[in-house]
A and B are shown apart, each in its own frame.
Chain A
């Protein structure tokens, strides 16, 4: 019962470093999403993908890039990390983009930028 798997679970970076967060799902879902969770702000959508090879911007895309080269994987990249990107990052997937589909979430990646 893997579902949605995020790696790594924790990471500390220095300002200016780069890194990639990996999200993998084994449910053959078309849609995938990256959110960030900050205290008092709920979850906000960074980028999303409606299928292999596609990506689109969400509410807070600046400073992040994404790629969906394979249907099961959705990568989130930080090219030059900034302290404002300290957050908990959640990946989610859903079978389709119709609004009745619940999104299945990974366990999150806690990222600290020093």
Chain B
């Protein structure tokens, strides 16, 4: 069965600290995609990144970076020099290959304190 686990329910950091959000997945598909979404307090879901199973290169976008390790089935998300505006719930998701259905993790609530 396909599954996504975000073991960290809540994380609290002080502004400017670096923080890593963990994501571990299970799938039998050989080709699959992983996603991260952000849900700020206003409630909408914002797409952050997509990564396919054949591309294990790390990706950096500004203060955000993602580390995909197929060997450990992990797709971790790091925010460098966190800011209060980063406070949100972050979801990791795995896409089912035939239908595009997303299997979400439970989400990690990040609180960045000033």
Contacts and interface: CB of A to CB of B under 8 A. Distances in A.
Q: Is the interface of B mostly helix, strand, loop or mixed?
A: loop
Interface residues of A, number: 30
B97 to A, nearest CB: 5
A74 interface: no
A48 B101 CA distance: 8
Contacts of A43: 91, 102, 104
Contacts of B99: 31, 48, 50, 56, 97
B61 interface: no
Contact of A99 (B6, B9, B45, B95): B95
A108 B43 contact: yes
Interface residues of B, number: 27
A34 to B, nearest CB: 11
A40 B106 contact: yes
Nearest to B32: A99
Task: Give the 10 A-B residue pairs with the shortest CB-CB distance, closest first.
Answer: A99-B95, A42-B104, A105-B45, A97-B100, A43-B104, A99-B33, A102-B47, A42-B106, A107-B44, A99-B97
